[in-house]
Structure 1
Amino acid sequence: MKKLILIYTLLLFGFVGAQSIKYGVTGSVHKSSMPGIHGVGKPAWGGNIGVFADFALVPNDIYDSAWLYFTPQLEVYTMGEKGDWNEDKINYQKYSNVYVGVPLYIKYYLKNQGYKGDIYFMAGPKLEFLASEKTDEGNAVNEALAAGKDPKLFGLGQRMNKFSYGLSVKAGAKVAESLEVFIRFDRGFAKIYPDYTAQTTYNRFLAIGVSYYLGESY
């Protein structure tokens, strides 16, 4: 986590000479999952809270007229799902993890008659660090062994990567002077279970949320 905070701080200092800087807080709710490992998985509800800064990459001569920004974000969010290794739909395994992440977005506002509009799109890489891990597999490992199955083939008893990376995209709209709403999709590319080789494992979630601007400097 210290490394991620250092990265975010360096990014902020690296853009202190930008045309303008807008900053604020953001939050969302999402459904997350970890495909490819826990048998028949069920997405889990989770949340996200963070801070962000918009660094204008184009001239901002008129108040809030810039239409292209670099937007780093520092956030805390939950990821997880329910698994069902033998697909009996009775006893589910539960996986609930907390991450600290740094998405690095490019933010583009659509233009309306040559001026900055209210609709925007964002995309960029995301770095994430596993802050806490909570796994409740019950008696699944023993049940698999008793059935003559190898628990590892069903993703049971696996260790997790502490660091991973992926891609985050957003689409949103300005609904008030300091308020924006958005939908967001994140997809990991790093294996979250490094010892599991049967399939590729990764994090993903689909979210809806809001961003609120606290201030701006020129």
Structure 2
Amino acid sequence: MKKLNMIIAVFLMMMVNGQETFKYGITGNFHKGSIVGVHDVSKGAFGGSLGIFAQWSLVENDVYDSAWLYLMPQIEYSMQGEIAKAEEDKFGIQQFDHDYVAMQVYLRYFFHQGNMKRDVYLFAGPRIEYLVREKRKVDPAYDLVYYKFNQDDQLNKFGYGVSVGVGLKLNLKMETFIRYDHGFSKVYPNNNNNFTYNRLLAVGINYYLNENWW
């Protein structure tokens, strides 16, 4: 809980520090994610994320909103995990639901020529996440057979990684994007067979609640 409070505090502090120039809004995405290196015959799982973001320019802006480099922290609730179908006829479908509160700090670069900013942008930055909900739905007989491979009896609550993507500004209020998140920390610390990390591919939108050039 202390780590979660720290994530929220850092986000709010960044918003306050940039209050003179920042824009803000809500963000949401639909994604497919999985945990690499565990749960044989993993199929991944579909989920969604919903959050808020702030954004301010790192280069001089003007009345035409020509700034092409931005800092954008965001915090979101993200439903992740995976499903697996190891010996489905015998054990049924195995389901592993992991919900996180996550924070990313993106550097956003718009393609531009002089003061002419294009609508296409790239973004990348670090990601941290804190597990707030876990639900495991498996046949106990499955665990008896597969635990020696999965070694998934313990979960790391805190994780970190990187998030990268490309986006398109649709109008003054809305953007769409494609994003890939790749974890660098173990999801299951007791698994000595593989490095188990989170990954997801998302399609989403950003909606600005204010749109000011200054």
Report if TM-score (shorter chain) is over 0.5.
yes
1:47-66 alignment, distance < 5 Å: 47-66=48-67
The whole-number CA distance in structure 1 between the counterparts of 2:133 and 2:189 is 17
* One-letter amino acid of the counterpart of residue 69, structure 1: Y
The whole-number CA distance in structure 1 between the counterparts of 2:113 and 2:206 is 22
Pair 1:2-2:5 in alignment: yes
The whole-number CA distance in structure 2 between the counterparts of 1:71 and 1:6 is 15
**TM-score, normalising length from structure 2?**
0.91
The alignment's C-alpha RMSD in Å is 1.5
Structure 2 residue aligned with 1:210: 205
The whole-number CA distance in structure 2 between the counterparts of 1:45 and 1:141 is 23
Structure 1 residue aligned with 2:143: 141
Pair 1:171-2:166 in alignment: yes
The whole-number CA distance in structure 2 between the counterparts of 1:69 and 1:38 is 39
Q: Secondary structure at the match of 1:215?
A: coil
Shift of 1:154: 2.4
The whole-number CA distance in structure 2 between the counterparts of 1:45 and 1:158 is 23
1:111-122 alignment, distance < 5 Å: 111-112=112-113, 114-122=115-123
Structure 2 residue aligned with 1:147: none
Q: Secondary structure at the match of 2:210?
A: strand
Q: 1:194 aligns with which of 189, 196, 201?
A: 189
Question: Does the 8 Å CA contact 1:153/1:198 hold for their aligned counterparts?
Answer: no
Structure 2: tracts of 5 or more residues without a match: none
Question: Does the 8 Å CA contact 2:153/2:188 hold for their aligned counterparts?
Answer: yes
Q: 2:16 aligns with which of 13, 16, 24?
A: 13
**TM-score, normalising length from structure 1?**
0.89
Tell me the number of residue pairs that the alignment of Structure 1 and Structure 2 aligns.
207
Listed one character per residue, the Cα deviations across residues 71-106 of structure 1 (whole Å, up to 9, x for unaligned) are: 00010011111124xx32332210011100110100
* One-letter amino acid of the counterpart of residue 212, structure 1: Y
Identity of aligned residues (%): 39
Pair 1:33-2:28 in alignment: no
Structure 1: tracts of 5 or more residues without a match: 145-150
The whole-number CA distance in structure 2 between the counterparts of 1:70 and 1:113 is 20
